[in-house]
Structure 1
Amino acid sequence: MSFAVLVNISIMVGLLYVLYHFQKTYMPFTRRVFIALGMGVAYGACLQVFYGFPSETLTESIGWFNIIGNGYVGLLKMIVVPLVMVSVISAILKLKGAGALGRISGWILALLMITVSIAAVIGIVAALGFGLSAEAITTGAREAARGEQLLTTVARVENLSIPGMLVSLIPANPFLDMTGARSTSIIGVVIFSAFIGVAALGLHRKEAVIAGKFESFVEVAHAIVMRIVTLVLRLTPFGILALMTKVVAGSNFSDILQLIQFVIASYTALIAVFVVHLIMVTMVGASPVQFIRKILPALTFAFTSRSSAGTMPLTIQTLTQRLGVSEGVSNFAASFGTTIGQNGCAGIYPAMLAVMIAPTVGVDPTSFSFIGTLIVTIAIGSFGVAGVGGGATFAALIVLSALGLPVELAGLLISIEPLIDMGRTAVNVSGAITTGFVGGRAMGEVNMDTFNSNDSPELDMDTVS
């Protein structure tokens, strides 16, 4: 390890200690999150200016920073399966009826399909409005290599069918899904947990004593898991500091400037979709300003981590503890929203790419037939994202291959992928939270006193008594 790397690590340790001091003095969680975000941007920019890009010192330093950043994301992913499992079972036991379960699932899936379709329309308008075209993007060695990689990957997508996508959601081996081995593992865990909950409800009518013991076990397990969630969430500011430092320090700003028009168009579309979410919140009688204030910590982590799955514990906590949504609705919205109907990855991104690439093969991207087919393909293909995994890349492959467009051209944007992916992930999580809140309001599953309260519990504090 060089002396320069050692100095960089020492500075990071010092910044972590500052955040620890703020925690020990009981500074509010939200304030610590934004301080960590600012510190990460500032430190990353200093490293970028001092060492330049690329730099071996910078690369090695980021590798050490990843112990904190990627380690925290790993801890969040560690608790996703047990959190979803005990929360879904606990929520169903409180529903006291399988009919409510079907109603919740129907509302969540319908809202996810509606929002991802709206996101696709916004992506199309943004690409056309900014005059984006794949023909204007210069191809380099990295872009060419990425295009070849996508060509080898597209075979997995072409073999998929809608029935196959739906069948892949069924947990044929629920214990395998508990290990996260499949891209559809989270949905598999949700479905298996739902069966356990419904079975427990049926057992309650026939063997009340045994069912009561099971309910007590679930209650204890739920309390323990929530305590683990609290312990992990307390590390959020530290994780954000390391992740944001990595993003800023490791970005190639010359490549970003060359594709700045696509960056601006993408974030314009992402902001527009977020505004749609706020309109939906307003339509169900809630304050959009209060909504933003309550969900901002979760969106901040989603933005820095680029992981919808990693953000899931914060998403569930935000819905239940800060927005007042019932556990059943919260868990289904967070679980399905992580893998189905992602507004950023499965809606905006494939739509913009399709409009950009269509002229290269002589297709008019402004024709109503093309736009209509594109929107329908995106809505249906959003289920395919869960079926194959890989987020925005596979969503784009599904759409482009279905429309007969050259998939290798999607590799032209590899240099700005991390920057765009940050915004996409935040919008994915915003869509899941909005779906849970709007669906909960429609079903009467939201405590508006909790939503309107300005004294919401912090996400890193104990959430169970």
Structure 2
Amino acid sequence: MSTTARAQKAPDTRGPVRRLLTSFGFQIIAALVLGIAVGLLARGQGATADSPTGLSATLDTIGSSYVTLLRAAVVPLIFTAIIASISNLRRVQNAARLAGQTLLWFAITAFIAVTIGIVLGLVIQPGARAGEGLETGEPYTVGTWWNFLLGLIPQNFLGLGVNTQLDLEAGTAASSVSFNILQVIVVATVVGIAALKAGKKAEPFLVFTESLLKVIQRVLWWIIRIAPIGTFGLIGAAVVKYGWEKLASLAWFAIAVYIGLALVLFVVYPILVRSNGLSIKQYFSGVWPAVQLAFVSRSSIGTLPLTERVTERNLGVPRSYASFAVPFGATTKMDGCAAIYPAIAAIFVAQFFDIELSIIQYLLIVLVSVVGSAATAGTTGAVVMLTLTLSTLGLPLEGVGLLLAIDPILDMGRTAVNVAGQALVPTIVAKREGILDEELYNAPRQGLPFAEDDVDDDKTDATPDAVSDAASDAAESDTAEAAPTR
């Protein structure tokens, strides 16, 4: 493994005010604050979820449009990323061992996370402290083991489904198209394996797929750059829809979840990093751009290109391995959504309905969290995982409706922890297998733009201090950083 010399970063001639205003982190924080303020203003004007005003409708449109953009990129991104990641395994020695080690560490960290969730649920008892005014309701999507197994069988090549709702009174019909992400993953995995087995005849297809992935990732960078606008609308619409009353009634539940997320992100992960002989500071400085974007976008899949980029270029994981492990983790490695959250939420539901859980049921929570993460694939992952957990334990599914009011707020923290874990595991495995570029891992973060590569990715890479520099910074800096050749 050799590392090429890195080009020096061009001097930053921006003043401190402009540097602050063009910082992605500052833009996100400003959008959060402004969104809350405008949401409160809309509520003060009488806006509610049932009676929107022009201002609240605008907020909702901005937020929903941003989510729609992210979702539009999910299917092509997942399909091409998984095929490319499987094909990249042919360039890796001991590919089967690396895949096995990746799965093992996914399970280890999930076990630790769900254990923390159970302990916090028992100590804080959020269900017993829930405020008044909560209403039970049926979940809008339900996960069961049987549905999960059936969902593995593709209905068609793209897992495409069409739902039609009839309005008999109005005599109209409305149809919507949806994708089963789990089926997309299955199809992409089969195609990727088949391409490997086809050998040299499949090389043009694999080259095309990798090129298409680059194009899709570039489109995602453009979507990422407008994340502050989406954040403004999402937060403002959430304040209008739920108000402070429902949020306050679930305060202890939210506190328990965020304590669990903080313990995993700032205690468990650093311990794992340090125990493997790596710098905690370098891990956080390297992964933080992706964590910050995940917090805002609430999408592990939407953050995937940046997660893979920081894993390779900041944390020093070989591209041939990272391009397999990170996309795989984006669909199955979710310590926030699939471990901490369902554990605390299941205990909350049991306490709210005054149901005492047995030791067997607590062990089932652990089992579901460790082996059921694949059922969270898609945009409603946490709800699917919660319903899967509740149905396995025999708890009332109506309890899911209790928690939907603050789900967007919790989802921000959950996704941030998910992404941090998705970068951590490949780093640990690469270090233990002796393939980690420790010089790159320990290198100073240059702060170059994350969004653009002015030259071929296979030869030269810009260091992704991703979300520290805005789009205007990308236009100013023409200097790229050479990546290690692996």
Q: What is the rounded CA distance, in whole Å, between the counterparts of 2:213 and 2:39 in structure 1?
A: 44
Q: Is the 8 A contact 1:76 1:313 kept in 2?
A: no
User: Counterpart of 2:166?
Assistant: none
Aligned with 2:393 (options 400, 403, 412): 403
User: Counterpart of 2:321?
Assistant: 329
Q: Is the 8 A contact 2:73 2:220 kept in 1?
A: yes
SS in 1 for 2:372: helix
Aligned with 2:368 (options 356, 364, 377): 377
CA RMSD, Structure 1 to Structure 2 (Å)? 3.8
- After superposition, residues 179-190 of structure 1 pair within 5 angstroms as 181-188=179-186, 190=188
Q: Measure how far apart 1:55 and its partner are.
A: 1.1
Q: Measure how far apart 1:268 and its partner are.
A: 0.6
Q: Which moved more, 1:211-220 or 1:30-39?
A: 211-220
User: Counterpart of 1:125?
Assistant: 119
Q: Which moved more, 1:85-94 or 1:188-197?
A: 85-94
SS in 1 for 2:181: coil
Residue identity matched to 1:60 = G
Q: Is the 8 A contact 1:92 1:101 kept in 2?
A: no
Q: Is the 8 A contact 2:89 2:324 kept in 1?
A: no
Q: Measure how far apart 1:312 and its partner are.
A: 2.2
Residue identity matched to 1:443 = E
User: Counterpart of 2:34?
Assistant: 43
Deviations 1:332-371 (A, max 9, x none): 3333333324211211122112323335677544x64443
Q: What is the rounded CA distance, in whole Å, between the counterparts of 1:137 and 1:380 in structure 2?
A: 33
Q: Is the 8 A contact 1:88 1:328 kept in 2?
A: no
TM-score normalised by the chain length of structure 2 = 0.74
Residue identity matched to 2:122 = L
Matched, 1:306 2:298: yes
User: Counterpart of 1:455?
Assistant: 446
User: Counterpart of 2:405?
Assistant: 415
Q: Measure how far apart 1:30 and its partner are.
A: 11
Q: What is the rounded CA distance, in whole Å, between the counterparts of 1:266 and 1:227 in structure 2?
A: 34
Q: 1:335 to 1:30 in 2, by over 3 A?
A: farther
Residue identity matched to 1:439 = V
SS in 2 for 1:184: helix
Q: What is the rounded CA distance, in whole Å, between the counterparts of 2:435 and 2:160 in structure 1?
A: 29
Q: Measure how far apart 1:460 and its partner are.
A: 1.7
User: Counterpart of 2:337?
Assistant: 345
User: Counterpart of 1:15?
Assistant: none
Q: Is the 8 A contact 1:98 1:198 kept in 2?
A: no
Aligned with 1:115 (options 109, 113, 116): 109
SS in 2 for 1:446: coil
Deviations 1:36-66 (A, max 9, x none): 1222122123224434365169753344345
Q: What is the rounded CA distance, in whole Å, between the counterparts of 1:153 and 1:88 in structure 2?
A: 25
Q: 1:50 to 1:177 in 2, by over 3 A?
A: closer
Q: What is the rounded CA distance, in whole Å, between the counterparts of 1:114 and 1:371 in structure 2?
A: 17
Q: What is the rounded CA distance, in whole Å, between the counterparts of 1:333 and 1:59 in structure 2?
A: 46
Q: Which moved more, 1:28-37 or 1:430-439?
A: 28-37
Q: Measure how far apart 1:250 and its partner are.
A: 5.0
Deviations 1:361-402 (A, max 9, x none): 77544x64443232123323333334x973222211111221
Deviations 1:117-152 (A, max 9, x none): 211111111111113335854354xx23xx2x23x8
Q: Which has the higher helix share?
A: 1
Q: What is the rounded CA distance, in whole Å, between the counterparts of 1:70 and 1:449 in structure 2?
A: 42
Q: Is the 8 A contact 2:312 2:319 kept in 1?
A: yes
Q: 1:27 to 1:329 in 2, by over 3 A?
A: farther
Q: 1:72 to 1:273 in 2, by over 3 A?
A: same
Q: Measure how far apart 1:169 and its partner are.
A: 3.9
Deviations 1:137-195 (A, max 9, x none): 4354xx23xx2x23x855xx45x34xx74574465744447997213045235414522
Q: Is the 8 A contact 1:88 1:327 kept in 2?
A: no
Residue identity matched to 2:43 = G
Q: Is the 8 A contact 1:44 1:249 kept in 2?
A: no
Matched, 1:356 2:354: no
User: Counterpart of 1:297?
Assistant: 289
Q: Measure how far apart 1:270 and its partner are.
A: 0.9
